[in-house]
Amino acid sequence: MTTKILSLNTSLVRPQRNKRSLQQRRARAAWLLVFPALFLLAGVAGWPLLRTIFYSFTDAALDTPEVYNFVGFDNYLSFFDGEAYGVLGDPLWWKSVRNTLWFSSWSVSIELILGMLVALLMNQKFRGQGLLRAAVLVPWAIPTIVTAKMWGWMFHDQYGVVNDLLLRIGIIDGPLAWIASPTLSMWAVVFADVWKTIPFMALMLLAALQTVPADLYEAARVDGATAWQRFTRITLPLIMPAMIVALIFRTMDALRVFDLIYVLTSNSEATVSVSGYARDQMVAYQEMGSGSAASVLVFMMVAGIAASFLYAGSLYNKEKQV
Amino acid sequence: MAQLKLEKLNKTYDKQTEVIPSLDLLVNKGEFVVIVGPSGCGKSTLLRMIAGLEDITNGNMYINGIYSNDDTPSERGIGMVFQSYALYPHMSVYENIAFAMRLAKLPAKEIDRRVNEAARTLQLEPLLQRRPKDMSGGQRQRVAIGRAIAREPKLFLFDEPLSNLDASLRVQMRMEIANLHKRLGSTVIYVTHDQVEAMTLADRIVILNKGRVEQVGTPLELYDHPGNEFVAQFIGSPKMNLLPATLVKSGENTSQVVLDSGKELILPIRTPKSAEGQSVNLGIRPEHILWGEKNRAHYQASVIFVEHMGNETYLYLDNGNASEPWVVRNAERSAIVAGEAVGVDLPAEHCYLFDGTGQAFQRLVTAQASPEALISKKIVN
Ligand SMILES: Nc1ncnc2c1ncn2[C@@H]1O[C@H](COP(=O)(O)OP(=O)(O)O)[C@@H](O)[C@H]1O
Ligand SMILES: [Mg+2]
């Protein structure tokens, strides 16, 4: 009897020990596999970020970064004779913040709406569907600089196709200064960005739309839902998670906008973004300290907005669980 | 409750794929009609046309005498249960059932009353706040049915509602659906490929084959008087055996046939004079074949395969066609093993006869309730 129990015990224990070691081995393999990525990230993102934070507390110049003094928070904000200095004391910084938020909210909202329309269209069955899906990708595949140059030409006040078209149709009486006018130039940037990034939005949303089973729409039709009700009550809630991810991606991207504005409008003050501001401090004025401070502020702004998106998303999910 | 009338209904996809050539059907108020047929014969297409999910290419459809071809699904007042259940994954059971009524802007009180009533009928009360993903297949099926009944539709449509359930649950849900129909008295059109579901649930069965109606009738009518070989083989399991034979003498009351084996049979089946001399098929169901004395039996063959079900035994007989051997269903355990030679007798009153094109000749006797059944009836009375 006892021997039986003993043998039973050992046979029970052994598989357990094997299982644990298997788990350990899997954990070790996992670390091994992610290590290169972590190493790379630390090298190309972590280290530069730390250096930037470090320089933001110094008065180094761009051409002589090894000569510096610590100046505390002066690059961010300081007061002399009742006047504010530093990035946060610079009206142009606040102008660039306003520009960036304005640009991001307009371009991301327009992209979301138009991208959704394109995605809904591409989700229909019709001839040439594959061709359309490929063609739609073209604007996304074109480098931003090329996009900016192209739209720069199209928006040209004398030779541009946009003014020509509008004149011919009769919407405007004289050519508009798309690039030079402070109000129009921001819209020109938004147009170009929307054109370029709709494919991304549309394909993200299309992928989400295709995960919605067709029979749900049929059930909703039997239940008496109109097309609009099917969209708002079935489609939207079901693609919401994917839509939030797409929104986060696009918002991050839009907040960091630099090249499009720099090339399209030559970084005029009317359109300068926070990234453009940081670049000016760093390169144009050769001030490594305040340039780094501006960069750190950009980083904090983007990270903060990303975090709040993620937090809102988790709240939404939690609410759904209940 | 509704009456449904289909007139020369035609469905053609893309102007070339004709799935349903021309279909006429009348479903009476309160009737439970099961449309049954092999996979791909157009059952779902037909049901979806009735539902309004698929355009009717040609022909007319009337609900309670009102032309309904161009009505939307909700205007037709139907409730549908999908094979995949098609529950809204982001809504609770309560919201799933309430959805249609919310869209119809019913008062909240009325919605609540109807949802709770449907939940009580289907024993869903404890699950009302759950989401579909947290439920078993049988529970989801109940929700799908609940969603259909809460709207109090004129016409229920079921598309293979039980095919995703395991065997025991299927039997249970089958009874529940039958009870539900009895209680609500609603008109039901139920689509399935399973003839057992058809036999057990239907008031009338419509047998569909390649988009055509082969026969319409009550379950026992179809069992006793199949109009052709397709129906004969589709109803009943295992399916009816067909033995080649020759009609040697036709008659009003009896017909005489000769089997391949040379044995003669006189059957209570009416055949026309013109059919005399033709080769015919003699049909016999596996459950009606009797064991015969080896040399005097109607047919002799060797057993090639034996299946023991526990309560009964299926024996497969070699007929020279390996893909469709004849089947004998033994109501008890059988000691016969594969390879054994046996003789079988074909009781004349249980035989069917089909002409060269597969059309049935008229049988003159119908199966009677067995003596045992009569006895038990007497005792009950
Ligand atoms: N949208 C469609 N286009 C072309 N053919 C179709 C379409 N939908 C179904 N079919 C064809 O119609 C036939 C019947 O399909 P279906 O009604 O789903 O059969 P069942 O439900 O009886 O299994 C099948 O042969 C199928 O290929
Ligand atoms: Mg089907």
The DSSP annotation for B65-98 comes to: TEE-TT--HHHHTEEEE-TT----TTS-HHHHHH
Contact (CB<8Å) A222/B80: yes
Residues 6+ apart with CB under 8 A from A39: none
Question: How many CB pairs below 8 Å do chains A and B form together?
Answer: 55
Give the residue carrying structure tokens 């939207």: A236
Contact (CB<8Å) A218/B53: yes
Question: Which residues from A are below 8 Å from B82, CB to CB?
Answer: 215, 218-219
| Strand B204-209 relative to strand B32-36, pairing | parallel
Residues 6+ apart with CB under 8 A from A297: A76, A87, A88, A93, A274
Instruction: Phi first, then psi: give them for residue B305, nearest 5 degrees.
Output: -160, 140
Cα separation of A261 and A280, whole Å? 13
Ligand 1 atom closest to the Cα of residue B37 is 22
DSSP class of B273:
G
Give the residue carrying structure tokens 């098929």: B281
Please classify residue A157 by burial: count the beta carbons closer than 10 Å to its beta carbon, then call 0-12 exposed, 13-18 middle and 19+ buried: middle
- Alpha-carbon separation of residue A269 from A98, A180, A187 (angstroms): 12, 11, 14
Q: Is the dihedral of CA B255, B258, B260, B263 positive or negative?
A: positive
Residue whose C-alpha is closest to residue B334's, from B326, B322, B342: B342
CA distance A195 to chain B (A): 33
From B72, B82, B88, residue closest to A234, measured CB to CB: B88
* B48 CA from centroid of ligand 2 (Å): 10
CA distance A206 to chain B (A): 19
Q: Can you say whether residue A82 is alpha, beta or left, with left for phi > 0 and alpha for psi between -120 and 50 degrees? A: left
For residues B128 and B94, the answer to whether their CB atoms sit within 8 Å is: yes
The H or E element spanning position B21 is strand B17-27
Cα separation of B16 and A305, whole Å? 56
Of the listed ligands, the closest to the CA of B83 is 2
- For B108-145, letters b (16+ CB in 10 Å) and e give eeebeebbbebbebbebeebbebbbeebeebbbbbbbb
- Using DSSP, state whether B329 is helix, strand or coil: strand
Tokens of A71: 């100046």
Cα separation of A204 and B69, whole Å? 38
Binding-site residues on chain B for chain A (CB distance < 8 A):
48, 51-53, 72-74, 78-80, 82, 84, 86-90, 99-100, 103-104, 147, 151
- Alpha-carbon separation of residue B215 from A284, B62, B227 (angstroms): 89, 21, 7
Please classify residue B304 by burial: count the beta carbons closer than 10 Å to its beta carbon, then call 0-12 exposed, 13-18 middle and 19+ buried: middle
Q: Per-domain residue ranges for chain B?
A: 4-229, 243-377
For residues B216 and B207, the answer to whether their CB atoms sit within 8 Å is: yes
Nearest-Å Rg of the Cα atoms of chain A is 27
- Pick the residue whose CA is nearest to atom 26 on ligand 1: B40
Ligand 1 atom closest to the Cα of residue B208 is 22
Give the residue carrying structure tokens 């504005």: A261
Cα separation of A263 and B354, whole Å? 86
Which one-letter amino acid corresponds to residue A234? I
For residues A218 and B86, the answer to whether their CB atoms sit within 8 Å is: yes
Contact (CB<8Å) A224/B78: no
Cα separation of B59 and A252, whole Å? 57
DSSP class of B304:
E
Cα separation of B189 and B6, whole Å? 13
Which neighbouring-strand residues pair with B27?
B4
From A216, A223, A238, residue closest to B103, measured CB to CB: A223
pLDDT at B167: 87
Question: Which residues from B are below 8 Å from A239, CB to CB?
Answer: none
For residues B186 and B27, the answer to whether their CB atoms sit within 8 Å is: no
Which residues does a 6 A CB cutoff place in the pocket of ligand 1?
B 13, 17, 19, 37, 39-45
Cα separation of A294 and A300, whole Å? 10
Tokens of A106: 């307009």
The H or E element spanning position B149 is helix B137-150
Q: Which CATH code is given to the segment(s) B243-377?
A: 2.40.50.140
Residue ranges with strand state E in B28-161:
32-36, 58-63, 66-67, 78-81, 155-159
* B306 CA from centroid of ligand 2 (Å): 33
Fold of A91-321: MetI-like fold (1.10.3720)
DSSP class of A71:
-
For A220, nearest residue in chain B (alpha carbons): B100
Contact (CB<8Å) B103/A229: yes
- Alpha-carbon separation of residue A211 from A70, A145, A234, B262 (angstroms): 55, 35, 12, 64
Q: Is the dihedral of CA B75, B76, B77, B80 positive or negative?
A: negative
Q: Which residues of chain B have pLDDT under 70?
A: 367-381
Question: Which residues from B are below 8 Å from A241, CB to CB?
Answer: none
Q: Does the pTM exceed 0.90?
A: no
Q: What is chain B's percent helix, strand, coil content, to nearest 5?
A: 30, 35, 35
* B157 CA from centroid of ligand 2 (Å): 13
Of the listed ligands, the closest to the CA of B41 is 1
Residue whose C-alpha is closest to residue B352's, from B282, B251, B271, B258: B282
Residue whose C-alpha is closest to residue A96's, from A261, A229, A253: A261
Which neighbouring-strand residues pair with A236?
none
Cα separation of A266 and A272, whole Å? 9
Q: Per-domain residue ranges for chain A?
A: 91-321
Instruction: Phi first, then psi: give them for residue B290, nearest 5 degrees.
Output: -115, 150
Q: What is the pLDDT along chain A (322 residues), one digit of tens a residue?
A: 444 444 444 444 455 555 668 888 899 999 999 999 999 999 999 999 999 999 999 988 888 888 888 888 888 888 888 888 888 888 999 999 999 999 999 999 999 999 999 999 988 888 888 888 888 888 988 999 999 999 999 998 888 899 899 999 988 888 888 888 888 889 999 999 999 999 999 999 999 999 999 999 999 999 999 999 999 999 999 998 889 889 888 998 899 999 899 988 887 888 899 999 999 888 888 888 889 999 999 999 999 988 888 888 788 767 665 4
CA distance B192 to chain A (A): 18
Q: Is the dihedral of CA A242, A248, A249, A250 positive or negative?
A: positive
Cα separation of A149 and A221, whole Å? 48
Ligand 1 pocket: which of B12, B17, B192 to mutate (most atoms within 8 A of CB):
B17
Residue whose C-alpha is closest to residue B3's, from B53, B76, B70: B76
Ligand 1 pocket: which of B9, B10, B18, B19 to mutate (most atoms within 8 A of CB):
B19
Sheet with B241-249, strands from edge to edge, namely B264-267, B255-259, B241-249, B279-284, B352-354
DSSP class of B151:
T
Fold of B4-229: Rossmann fold (3.40.50)
Question: Which residues from A are below 8 Å from B78, CB to CB?
Answer: 222
| Strand B155-159 relative to strand B187-192, pairing | parallel
Give the residue carrying structure tokens 């001399």: B277
- Using DSSP, state whether B342 is helix, strand or coil: strand
Contact (CB<8Å) A222/B74: yes
Helices A182-209 and A144-154 cross at an angle (nearest 10°) of: 130
